């Protein structure tokens, strides 16, 4: 019945698509009629249009900036028929401008300048002191810039010149810039450059040396030059990227940055290119305030944990929502901590927008609570063909070794431990349990005749490699003004720092956009990504993994014996016998093969001049196969089973269908209104199956023939599906571009919730005031931008697993008569009242730009309060259940974010820019069910405390001989670890555990300096974090116990009667009893400063590129992770080795991050 209904629903959808397609075909004929009508309407006004309007239209149609002088274009008009909607921009510009005696110049990738040769020449010829020159005005896209530039500089008559200065102004690519304003600082006296970028200016001779000229030009950074004794001054202006790229993508649309009422951060492709990385998350690290990207593993592709403004949920996902070109990525629970974004080629990205506050995220309603990351991919070209080839080669090395015992020290520790055995286990000692380890050093493969070790293996040297990586990205983009297409190809082969770990990726993407008719634009993209990884750092593993054995393999054991057999700890009796790390790396695989298809098609219909309908259909398919094999002889891993093999297949399919209307209108020049109204459907299906087997006769088969294992394991599979149905709307209203209001609302319905609470409404409201536009600010010249904004809104989190509202039953497996029998019994306590988790967010922001935005600040304060928190809330176990999905509890995040950009120097071809950002977030759990603690991973979730608080004993060092009787009360001896008896009840037990640290930082940020000199670029990118702790769990096996595996060198500081002031217990054989606990000794200050990237690039100048018939040629060399300054003794304090949401900073056998030396080349044709 249900199935039938769903099928009929799908048929409905496909019918409407068919309708859509047939309509499109049918409407072609209608379009002609439309053109006729359009023309006829214009005929009544003379079939001519104002040049200014035409240029404005080009601006938006082609997504470029067209700059012109008001005087140049005023009064000029164009015959409509000269404009061809299918032609390229440059062709259209030519058609329009040539008859008027104007021409255009391309000043950079997306800016064009309209030049009137005659006018400028005239100005230059007559030495413009008495001329009234109207400076350039940019067309509609950047009114803010235009208005901050004085519209008219009236240059009064002054005394005759006594000295003349001349020169040429060029762009960074050495193109002459016409129309640049050259003004004597502190006066209104000046001129503009001519068509060749040349200027001549008379300056008063008196004090000439002290005179400073200010060069300014829209879209470029102002530059000041002291005249000194020079009479010729050549200037190169640098583009102001920040101003030129001011359009930002928001949910379901784009907005000018100046019009934003919300907190949105942007990263452009150029910034990502400075630090080529395997995943978007790695590239995003440190770019945006409030976005904490912790790259927790050094493995290829990393394993990043992203938190936007802190953790908002205790038991539901805390990851942001990713939206790629409008397609929402849904899959959760991918293997080993992966997220779907890991399967997107970062080179395809044109820009990333991070939506942080409720004003920005509310349009994503039920899924916006953790912030939204919008990714816009690169499209085709609207101005002719382009070919780009980007490549880089790198080598990663281990930046730091952890000091471990060498062979001699290891044996010495074992000897001392034996001597202490009687003290700690008198009964065992009397029973003859302990033997002098010297007597077992007889194996001739390991020891010489006198018991000295033959080997002294450094397992860090053996296990890590110089990790070579190559990356090739090739793109073809073409098109005219109406149609454009792009083909993007990528290949990446990244080797891991740990041997045998790697990532290989083939990526291909095709994009296509077409202005089919004047009223309809269609397009789409299809991308395919094929990725294969061998991941050697399984999450949450306390078992034997390669990175554990790097620390624990005995130095007295070789990698291999002369006869080719692997060495292992088991070869030396009495050891906890994990294999050596190289052996594990060679004989164990965890291959993750992922094929991802991401596609979308859209159509934009211009229903009226102001009303547009966009319809999009997107799909995301992730097929992931995980192949595992562990060899027949791997101790503690698969030896008991005689080898284990498993294949897991996961298929995540999702589709979404969205339709929305956008209305955009300006009334009476004062009121601008943008309205958005839409609806969406989305469906997600996940199917998982797993087959596993054990006990092989030979390692040959690996996972390729599960039938070859003699002990097949029970197979498993599961199917999960859920749907979402949403209605959303937004109104942006602007009054005189000064007062901005945004109201947003979304209604989401989800199949995951009980029918009574299926739908929920998520509203938000925001206000912004562009103070700088006020009249009273006109005279405050240093302030070039001042905006305050505030927002409040509600967003949701619905990432619970499906079917929680139902009383689902579970499988049980029991044995009768030696065979498996299946049971079906209680599974889940149903909660039909389940509803949405909601996050209420308040944000207030301030944007300030000084000195023509040479110095700009953005400051935000926010408070996020999560209520109705979805919890797998514990219920009394007496019910037969442990938890129920329930809405209880609340949590708060408060924080500040500050971003600062400064152009420190910009003169004489030298520019120095600084970007600094810092974020502070304080997280606090307000309420939980009945106030009870929840233990998640190694942390406790407790009221009034931040999530991610470590829990454990207070380590007070070791008991001294003077404290012998006191120690005895706790059944301890001098030399044992001394824990604080927190509740002073005379025993150390669970009641003495307290909060001992936290993995979440107080503050984090980035300091980025870029230096440009002529064609050279130098970037120094520093990352910092403070107030975060690391729970160094590797100490459990590498410090708390000795003599059964190798240890950290720190154990040499262990307790002895002569060395009693130490945190490390006296050596003793492990079976004599030892203490090991999560305690304060393991909690380490994880604050750090990292040299994230040091990059030197050289862009070849135009003459050379021209000679090579290239458009662009850039070479660079960089060192990533070039230094790390921290007190933490492990590999890297930016770490987490479990999959639990709050286990940030938990370090157990982590995969270190490499220091990467890279060279790269960008070639554009």
Partner 1 sequence: MKTTIKTAGKWLLGVALLFSGSACSDFLEEADKSNFTVGNYFTRPEHATSAVNSIYDNLKTTTGGGFGGAPWMMLEFGTGLANTELGQAQNSIFVRNLVNTSDNEYGRVYWVSSYKGIGNANLVIAKVPGIVMDEAAKKRALGEALFLRAHYYYNLVRIFGKVPLITAPVELASETLYPEQATEEAVYKQIVDDLVAAEAAGLPFTDAAGRASTGAAKSLLANVYLSMAGYPLQKGAEYFKKAADKANEVITANQYSLFTTYDDLHSPTKKNVGENIFMVQFATNIQPSGWQTSIIPYNQGISAYSDETGAIFANKEFVESYEKGDLRAQEKQFYYRSYTLSNDRKTTVDLGGYYIYKHFDTQAHLTTSNSDLNWPLIRYAEVLLTYAEAANEASGPTPEAYEAVNKIRRRAKLPDLAGLTKDQFRESVWKERWYELSFENKTWFDMARLRKAFNVTTKTFENFVGHKFSYGPVLKERELLFPIPTAEIRNNNKLKQNAGY
CB 634, min distance to partner 1, A: 8
Q: Determine, following the binding rule CB under 8 A, whether residue 1164 of this chain makes contact with partner 1.
A: no
Tally of CA atoms within 13 A in the half-sphere of 233 that contains its CB: 28
Which residue of 719, 735, 962, 1104 would you call a contact of partner 1, by CB under 8 A?
A: 719
Q: Determine, following the binding rule CB under 8 A, whether residue 619 of this chain makes contact with partner 1.
A: no
Which residue of 131, 725, 980, 1060 would you call a contact of partner 1, by CB under 8 A?
A: 725
x-or-dash pattern for partner 1, window 1062-1101, by CB under 8 A? --------xxxxxxxx------------------------
- Do β-strands 349-355 and 327-328 pair in parallel, antiparallel, or remain unpaired? unpaired
Interface of this chain with partner 1, residues 31 to 90, rule: CB under 8 A = 31, 33-34, 36-37
Q: Determine, following the binding rule CB under 8 A, whether residue 659 of this chain makes contact with partner 1.
A: yes
Which residue of 94, 204, 428, 908 would you call a contact of partner 1, by CB under 8 A?
A: 428
Instruction: Show the tokens assigned to 130.
Output: 């008495």
Which residue of 53, 175, 483, 576 would you call a contact of partner 1, by CB under 8 A?
A: 576
Token pair 């996972």 is at which residue? 703
Segment interacting with partner 1 (CB under 8 A) among 68-76, 804-812, 840-848, 1047-1055 = 804-812
Segment interacting with partner 1 (CB under 8 A) among 532-540, 803-811, 1101-1109, 1112-1120 = 803-811
x-or-dash pattern for partner 1, window 960-999, by CB under 8 A? -----------x---------------xxxxx--------
Q: Determine, following the binding rule CB under 8 A, whether residue 717 of this chain makes contact with partner 1.
A: yes
Q: Are 897 and 290 in contact (CB under 8 A)?
A: yes
DSSP 1074-1107: ----SBTTTEEE--EEEEEEEEEEEEPPHHHHHH
Q: Determine, following the binding rule CB under 8 A, whether residue 1108 of this chain makes contact with partner 1.
A: no
Which residues, other chains included, contact 225 with Cβ-Cβ below 8 Å and sequence gap of 6+?
Answer: 212, 213, 215, 233, 235, 907, 908
Between 74 and 833, CB nearer to partner 1: 833
Alpha helix stretches (DSSP H) within 710-770: none
Between 81 and 717, CB nearer to partner 1: 717
CB 1029, min distance to partner 1, A: 22
**Gap between the Cα atoms of 38 and 40, Å rounded:** 5
Segment interacting with partner 1 (CB under 8 A) among 291-299, 837-845, 930-938, 1153-1161 = 930-938
Instruction: Show the tokens assigned to 377.
Output: 């991919």
Residue 466 per-residue DSSP state:
-
Instruction: Show the tokens assigned to 793.
Output: 């809104």
Which residues, other chains included, contact 561 with Cβ-Cβ below 8 Å and sequence gap of 6+?
Answer: 445, 567
Q: Determine, following the binding rule CB under 8 A, whether residue 715 of this chain makes contact with partner 1.
A: no
Helix (H, G, I), strand (E, B) or coil at 599: strand
Q: Determine, following the binding rule CB under 8 A, whether residue 810 of this chain makes contact with partner 1.
A: yes
CB 1119, min distance to partner 1, A: 41
Q: Determine, following the binding rule CB under 8 A, whether residue 192 of this chain makes contact with partner 1.
A: no
Q: Determine, following the binding rule CB under 8 A, whether residue 384 of this chain makes contact with partner 1.
A: no
Instruction: Show the tokens assigned to 754.
Output: 């009980």
Q: Exposure pattern of 100-135 as b/e (b: 16+ CB <10 Å)?
A: eebebbbbbebbbbbbbeebbeebbeeebbeeebbb
Q: Determine, following the binding rule CB under 8 A, whether residue 750 of this chain makes contact with partner 1.
A: yes
Q: Exposure pattern of 743-761 as b/e (b: 16+ CB <10 Å)?
A: bbbbbbbbbbbeeebbbbe
x-or-dash pattern for partner 1, window 868-897, by CB under 8 A? ------xxxxxxxxx-x-------------
Which residue of 526, 613, 926, 936 would you call a contact of partner 1, by CB under 8 A?
A: 613
Instruction: Show the tokens assigned to 708.
Output: 């070859």
Q: Are 1100 and 1012 in contact (CB under 8 A)?
A: no
**Gap between the Cα atoms of 177 and 199, Å rounded:** 10
Q: Determine, following the binding rule CB under 8 A, whether residue 667 of this chain makes contact with partner 1.
A: no
CB 595, min distance to partner 1, A: 24
Which residue of 455, 510, 681, 851 would you call a contact of partner 1, by CB under 8 A?
A: 681
> Do you know the residue count of the chain?
1165
Q: Determine, following the binding rule CB under 8 A, whether residue 707 of this chain makes contact with partner 1.
A: no
Helix (H, G, I), strand (E, B) or coil at 97: helix
Which residue of 472, 532, 758, 863 would you call a contact of partner 1, by CB under 8 A?
A: 758
- Do β-strands 783-797 and 1112-1126 pair in parallel, antiparallel, or remain unpaired? unpaired
Which residue of 487, 591, 720, 1089 would you call a contact of partner 1, by CB under 8 A?
A: 720
Between 806 and 1108, CB nearer to partner 1: 806
Q: Determine, following the binding rule CB under 8 A, whether residue 439 of this chain makes contact with partner 1.
A: no
Q: Determine, following the binding rule CB under 8 A, whether residue 270 of this chain makes contact with partner 1.
A: no
Which residues, other chains included, contact 9 with Cβ-Cβ below 8 Å and sequence gap of 6+?
Answer: none
Instruction: Show the tokens assigned to 934.
Output: 């929840």
**Total residues binding partner 1 (CB under 8 A):** 129
Between 434 and 485, CB nearer to partner 1: 434
x-or-dash pattern for partner 1, window 153-182, by CB under 8 A? ------------------------------
Between 231 and 640, CB nearer to partner 1: 640
Which residue of 419, 826, 1106, 1125 would you call a contact of partner 1, by CB under 8 A?
A: 826
Between 802 and 848, CB nearer to partner 1: 802
CB 707, min distance to partner 1, A: 15
Which residue of 232, 668, 669, 815 would you call a contact of partner 1, by CB under 8 A?
A: 815
Q: Are 337 and 303 in contact (CB under 8 A)?
A: yes
Interface of this chain with partner 1, residues 1002 to 1061, rule: CB under 8 A = 1036, 1041, 1044
DSSP 227-271: -TT-SB--EE--B-HHHHT-EEEETTEEEEGGG--S-EEEEEHHH
Q: Determine, following the binding rule CB under 8 A, whether residue 188 of this chain makes contact with partner 1.
A: no
Which residue of 232, 449, 668, 822 would you call a contact of partner 1, by CB under 8 A?
A: 822
Interface of this chain with partner 1, residues 507 to 566, rule: CB under 8 A = 519, 542
Which residues, other chains included, contact 289 with Cβ-Cβ below 8 Å and sequence gap of 6+?
Answer: 265, 858, 860, 897, 898, 899, 917, 918, 919, 1005
Q: Are 616 and 599 in contact (CB under 8 A)?
A: no
Token pair 């015959």 is at which residue? 79
Interface of this chain with partner 1, residues 304 to 323, rule: CB under 8 A = none
């Amino acid at each position: 019945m249900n199935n039938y209904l769903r099928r009929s629903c799908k048929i409905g959808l496909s019918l409407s698509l068919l309708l859509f397609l047939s309509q499109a075909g049918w409407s072609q004929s209608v379009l002609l009629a439309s053109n006729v009508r359009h023309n006829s309407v214009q005929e009544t006004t003379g079939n001519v249009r104002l040049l200014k309007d035409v240029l404005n239209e080009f601006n938006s149609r082609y997504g470029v900036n067209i700059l012109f002088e008001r005087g140049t274009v005023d009064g000029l008009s164009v015959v409509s028929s000269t404009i061809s909607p299918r032609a390229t921009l440059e062709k259209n510009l030519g058609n329009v401008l040539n008859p008027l005696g104007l021409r255009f110049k391309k000043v950079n990738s997306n800016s064009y300048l309209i030049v009137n040769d005659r006018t400028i020449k005239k100005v230059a010829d007559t030495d413009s002191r008495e001329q009234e020159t109207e400076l350039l005005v940019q067309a509609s896209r950047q009114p803010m810039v235009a208005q901050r530039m004085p519209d008219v500089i009236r240059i009064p008559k002054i005394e005759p010149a006594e000295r003349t200065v001349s020169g040429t102004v060029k762009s960074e690519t050495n193109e002459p810039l016409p129309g640049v304003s050259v003004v004597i600082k502190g006066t209104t006296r000046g001129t503009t450059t001519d068509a060749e970028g040349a200027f001549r200016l008379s300056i008063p001779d008196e004090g000439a040396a002290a005179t400073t000229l200010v060069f300014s030009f829209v879209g470029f950074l102002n530059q000041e030059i002291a005249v000194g004794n020079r009479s010729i001054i050549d200037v190169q202006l640098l583009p102001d990227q920040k101003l030129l790229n001011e359009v930002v993508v928001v949910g379901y649309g784009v907005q000018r940055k100046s019009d934003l009422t919300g907190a949105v951060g942007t990263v452009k492709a150029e910034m990502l290119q400075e630090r080529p990385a395997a995943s978007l998350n790695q590239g995003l690290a440190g770019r945006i305030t409030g976005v904490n990207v912790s790259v927790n593993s050094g493995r290829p592709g990393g394993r990043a944990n992203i938190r936007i403004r802190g953790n908002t949920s205790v038991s539901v996902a805390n990851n942001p929502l990713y939206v790629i070109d409008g397609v929402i990525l849904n899959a959760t629970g991918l293997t080993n901590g992966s997220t779907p974004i890991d399967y997107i080629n970062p080179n395809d990205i044109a820009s990333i927008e991070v939506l942080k506050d409720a004003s920005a995220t509310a349009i994503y309603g039920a899924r916006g609570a953790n912030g939204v990351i919008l990714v816009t991919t690169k499209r085709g070209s609207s101005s002719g063909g382009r070919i780009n080839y980007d490549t880089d080669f790198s080598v990663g090395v281990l930046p730091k070794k952890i000091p471990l015992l060498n062979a001699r020290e290891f044996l010495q520790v074992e000897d001392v431990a034996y001597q202490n055995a009687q003290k700690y286990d008198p009964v065992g000692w009397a029973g003859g349990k302990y033997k002098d380890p010297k007597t077992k050093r007889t194996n001739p493969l390991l020891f010489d005749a006198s018991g000295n070790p033959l080997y002294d293996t450094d397992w860090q040297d053996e296990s890590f490699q110089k990790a070579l990586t190559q990356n090739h990205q090739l793109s073809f983009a073409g098109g005219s003004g109406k149609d454009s297409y792009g083909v993007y190809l990528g290949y990446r082969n990244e080797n891991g720092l740990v041997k045998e770990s790697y990532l290989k990726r083939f990526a291909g993407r095709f994009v296509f956009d077409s202005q089919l008719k004047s009223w309809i634009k269609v397009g789409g993209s299809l991308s395919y990504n094929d990725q294969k990884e061998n991941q050697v750092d399984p999450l949450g593993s306390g078992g034997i993994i390669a990175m554990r054995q790097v620390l624990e393999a005995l130095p007295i054991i070789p990698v291999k014996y002369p006869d080719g057999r692997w060495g292992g700890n088991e070869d030396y009796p009495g050891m906890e016998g994990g294999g050596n790390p190289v052996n594990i790396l060679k004989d164990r695989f965890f291959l993750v093969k992922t094929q991802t298809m991401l596609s979308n098609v859209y159509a934009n219909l211009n229903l009226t001049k102001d009303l547009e309908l966009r319809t999009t259909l997107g799909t995301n398919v992730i097929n992931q196969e995980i192949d595992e094999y562990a060899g027949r002889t791997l101790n503690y891993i698969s030896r008991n089973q005689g080898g284990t093999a498993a294949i897991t297949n996961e298929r995540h399919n999702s589709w979404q269908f969205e339709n929305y209307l956008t209305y955009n209108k300006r009334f009476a020049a004062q009121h601008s209104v943008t309205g958005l109204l839409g609806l969406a459907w989305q469906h997600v299906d996940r199917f998982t199956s797993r087959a596993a087997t054990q006990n092989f006769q030979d390692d040959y088969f690996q996972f390729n023939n599960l039938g070859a294992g003699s002990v097949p394991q029970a197979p498993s599979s599961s199917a999960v599906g859920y749907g979402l149905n949403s209605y959303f709307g937004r109104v942006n209203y602007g009054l005189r571009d000064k007062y901005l209001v945004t109201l947003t609302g979304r209604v989401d319905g989800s199949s995951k919730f009980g029918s009574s609470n299926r739908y929920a409404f998520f509203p938000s409201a925001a206000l912004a005031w562009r103070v700088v536009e006020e009249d009273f600010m006109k005279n405050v010249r240093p302030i070039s931008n001042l905006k305050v904004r505030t927002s409040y809104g509600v967003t949701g989190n619905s990432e619970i697993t499906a079917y929680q509202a139902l009383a689902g039953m579970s499988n049980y497996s029991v044995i009768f008569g030696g065979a498996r029998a299946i049971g079906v019994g209680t599974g889940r306590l149903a909660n039909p009242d389940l509803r949405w988790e909601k996050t209420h967010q308040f944000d207030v922001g301030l944007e300030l730009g000084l000195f023509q935005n040479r110095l700009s600040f953005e400051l935000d304060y926010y408070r996020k309060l999560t209520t109705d928190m979805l919890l797998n809330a514990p219920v009394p176990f007496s019910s037969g259940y442990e938890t129920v999905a329930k809405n209880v509890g609340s949590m708060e995040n408060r924080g500040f974010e500050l971003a600062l950009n400064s152009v420190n120097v910009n003169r004489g071809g030298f520019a120095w820019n600084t970007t600094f950002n810092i974020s502070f977030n304080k997280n606090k759990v307000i309420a939980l069910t009945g106030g009870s603690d929840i233990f998640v991973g190694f942390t406790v979730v407790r009221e009034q405390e931040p999530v991610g608080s470590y829990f454990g004993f207070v380590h007070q060092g070791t008991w001294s001989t003077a404290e012998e009787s006191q120690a005895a009360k706790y059944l301890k001896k001098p030399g044992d670890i001394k824990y604080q008896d927190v509740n002073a009840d005379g025993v150390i037990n669970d009641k003495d555990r307290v909060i001992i640290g936290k993995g979440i930082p107080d503050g984090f940020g980035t300091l980025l300096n870029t230096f440009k000199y002529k064609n050279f670029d130098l970037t120094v990118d520093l990352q910092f974090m403070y107030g975060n702790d690391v729970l160094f769990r590797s100490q459990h096996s590498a410090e708390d116990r000795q003599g059964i595996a190798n240890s950290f060198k720190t154990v040499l500081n262990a307790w002895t009667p002569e060395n009693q002031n130490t945190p490390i217990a006296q050596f003793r054989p492990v079976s004599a009893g030892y203490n090991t606990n999560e305690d304060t000794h393991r909690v380490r200050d994880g604050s750090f400063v990292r040299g994230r990237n040091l990059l030197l690039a050289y862009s070849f100048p135009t003459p050379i590129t021209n000679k090579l018939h290239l458009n662009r040629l850039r070479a660079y060399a960089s060192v990533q992770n070039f230094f790390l300054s921290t007190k933490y003794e492990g590999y890297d304090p930016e770490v987490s080795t479990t999959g639990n949401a709050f286990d940030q900073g938990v370090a157990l056998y982590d995969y270190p991050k490499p220091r990467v030396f890279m060279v790269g080349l960008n070639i554009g044709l």
